[in-house]
Amino acid sequence: MTDTLLATRPAPQAAPDLPALSAAQVRAHLLARDTEIALLDVREEDPYAQAHPLWAANLPLSRIELEAWRRIPRRDTRIVLFGAHAGEDLAPRAAAVLRRLGYTQVHALQDGLDGWQAAGFELFRDVNVPSKAFGELVEHERHTPSLPAQEVQALIDAKADVVVLDARRFDEYQTMSIPTATSVPGAELVLRARALAPDPRTRIVVNCAGRTRSIIGTQSLVNAGLPNPIAALRNGTIGWTLAGQALDHGADRRAPADIDPAVRAQAQADARRVAERAGVRWLDAAALAALREPGRTVYRFDVRTPEEYAAGHRPGFASAPGGQLVQETDHHVPVRGARIVLSDEGDGVRAPMTASWLAQMGWEVHVLQGPAELGETGVPAAELPAHRHDVDGIAPAALAALLKAGDAVLIDVGASANYVRRHIPGAWFAVRAQLPQALARLPRAGTLVLTCGSSLLARYAADDVREWLDAQGDAREVRVLDGGNAAWFAAGLPEEAGEAHLATPRTDRYRRPYEGTDAPREAMQAYLDWEFGLVAQLERDGTHHFRVI
């Protein structure tokens, strides 16, 4: 028997008084840059990646409580929402959540994505599009040098005087890398490249998985004035794979942690010169306090490595390693027109170089100067809103007994990739925002149990389910697995893998063609072709405000 009572969404989630802004009005704000605006696509990541405006950031309805306060810190920010699923406009539900969280200027994009397209405005595919499009513009305007995969392979085979520097995150590098490559994530390049290639005759090749980080990394070294011959690996590990060349897996080569004082001093001078050319501003702690004013959002980021951040950081600064901040700016800074302050705690290289790129992308960006102030350690816990209902937890052992008795349905609202990797036997995967549709498809049982990796998201999902059941007069029990899947696995209880029970499609994450090694070659080539067309799209769109130095 299936539960048909929850096939429709009850009234409490609706927001019929939601004001709307037209596509033309939103675009005018983006062009004028006179006020801050956050244009948010509240669909899951996969549909977002299929089509969205250039400056639309993805904030899925499923995760608003977990992310909104961190990503949109000012409660009176002008927010514009859009996104539909299976014929339902998700903006009213998202607006209700945001209002409950204290946001006061929440709007819908009139006619949603259809209205944007009908107005003749540009739509973009993929994720982190502003950064990727900017990278293509940098190469287009600066003619960033590059070498094809076959030529780099020949240099390696000939044991030529060449070093390959991988500008991605270390975990990406470990998944697959160019033979002989050393991991030097983007913001580290200007700081560490001289130590890895002290002879000015040594050729430096910078790579990533596709194009953006290799272009930005290569141009960073060029802008900083390194005397070496420098080139990007054309099309990254995708190009390497399409050339039929073998990648390494599990490599762990990293740049030495210690930097010679003379090398550091040279890198600091180079970085400051580049940042000043880009229009970066400088401030001290006193000026930072004065920077906050009504109507202005200030994002504060520590651009050092996650390990350095955890060892000690300035209070109030979030960890955002510089290379990834440039690569994923739309995620970290969804409020267009906001101010950005960067710190590297006296390093003097990574913050200015990161800032130089953000400034060229049209952001007002400041670098914090002065002595290090490492007042906090670890990673601060996120501030999260209170739960709306007092939903009881259930311990892993008690859940195991309940499932064995056959009177419970377990719903996993965590990341689908984690669900496929391993999950509790019998658990159904469901995207949280699509729980009403999922519940209509699931077997009926006396108790509904929600889980995810840690139980954080599951508790908010349990609030939703409790409200939907109450609205239908359904008295079934709703519970949350204490500690989530992590607690279950830690208890040594059974697990399984695969897509055995999908109550909704796996739309929560877009499969990037440059991830892993099993993407179809056609998808890899299509991704490269898309990147090649971004400069033309930027010109048609006209809202980017990029300025390449």
Q: List pLDDT tens digits, range 437-476.
A: 999 999 988 999 999 999 999 999 999 999 999 999 999 9
Coil, helix or strand at residue 403 = helix
Decide the pairing of beta strands 298-302 and 392-394: unpaired
Q: What does the pLDDT read at residue 395?
A: 98
Local structure of residue 423 (DSSP, 8 states): B
Look at residues 61, 59, 55 and name the one whose alpha carbon lies nearest to residue 70: 59
Architecture of domain 392-490: 3-Layer(aba) Sandwich (3.40)
Q: Which two tokens stand for residue 19?
A: 């004001």
Q: Which two tokens stand for residue 162?
A: 């060449």
CATH topology of domain 11-126: Oxidized Rhodanese; domain 1 (3.40.250)
Report the distance separating Cα 274 and Cα 168, nearest Å: 22
Helix axes 350-360, 261-278, angle to 10 degrees: 20
The phi, psi pair for 303, rounded to 5°, reads: -95, 10
Look at residues 42, 236, 272 and name the one whose alpha carbon lies nearest to residue 149: 236
The phi, psi pair for 464, rounded to 5°, reads: -60, -50
Q: Which residue bears the tokens 């096939």?
A: 7
Report the distance separating Cα 412 and Cα 416, nearest Å: 9
To the question of domain 276-368 being in CATH 3.30.9.10, the answer is no
What are the residues whose beta carbons fall under 8 Å from the beta carbon of 549, sequence distance 6 or more? 223, 274, 277, 278, 356, 360
225 sits in the region (left: phi over 0; alpha: psi -120 to 50; else beta) called left
Cα Rg for the chain, rounded, in angstroms?
Answer: 25
Q: Which two tokens stand for residue 388?
A: 């709306």
Q: Which residues does residue 408 pair with via DSSP β-bridges, in sequence order?
A: 447
Distances (CA, A) of 409 to 341, 442, 501: 47, 8, 11
Q: What does the pLDDT read at residue 292?
A: 83
Coil, helix or strand at residue 248 = strand
Give CA torsion, residues 414, 415, 418, 423, to 10 deg: 30
Q: Which residues of the chain have pLDDT under 50?
A: 1-14
Q: How many CA atoms lie within 13 A of 383 on its CB side?
A: 9
Vertex 190 angle, CA 189 and 193, to 5°: 65
Which ranges in the chain are annotated with CATH 3.40.250.10?
11-126, 133-252, 276-368, 392-490
Residues 414 and 484: beta-carbon distance below 8 Å: yes
Q: What does the pLDDT read at residue 20?
A: 97
Class of residue 346 by CB neighbours under 10 A (exposed 0-12, middle 13-18, buried 19+): middle
H/E/C letters for each residue in 83-148?
Answer: CEECCEECHHHHHHHHHHCCCCCEEEECCHHHHHHHCCCCCECCCCHHHHHHHHHHHHHHCCCEEC
Residues 60 and 97: beta-carbon distance below 8 Å: no
What are the residues whose beta carbons fall under 8 Å from the beta carbon of 143, sequence distance 6 or more? none
Decide the pairing of beta strands 106-109 and 203-207: unpaired
Q: State the alpha helices, DSSP H only, in 197-233.
A: 212-224
| pTM greater than 0.75 (yes/no) | yes
Look at residues 252, 259, 214 and name the one whose alpha carbon lies nearest to residue 232: 214
Q: What does the pLDDT read at residue 86?
A: 87
CATH topology of domain 133-252: Oxidized Rhodanese; domain 1 (3.40.250)
Report the distance separating Cα 315 and Cα 303, nearest Å: 14
Report the distance separating Cα 132 and Cα 135, nearest Å: 5
57 sits in the region (left: phi over 0; alpha: psi -120 to 50; else beta) called beta
Report the distance separating Cα 133 and Cα 532, nearest Å: 9
Report the distance separating Cα 428 and Cα 162, nearest Å: 51
Q: What does the pLDDT read at residue 16?
A: 59
Class of residue 517 by CB neighbours under 10 A (exposed 0-12, middle 13-18, buried 19+): exposed
What are the residues whose beta carbons fall under 8 Å from the beta carbon of 337, sequence distance 6 or more? 33, 35, 36, 37, 297
Q: What does the pLDDT read at residue 6?
A: 35
What are the residues whose beta carbons fall under 8 Å from the beta carbon of 498, sequence distance 6 or more? 420
- DSSP per residue, 20-43: EE-HHHHHHHHHH-SS-BEEEE-S
Q: Which residues does residue 38 pair with via DSSP β-bridges, in sequence order?
A: 79
Local structure of residue 255 (DSSP, 8 states): -
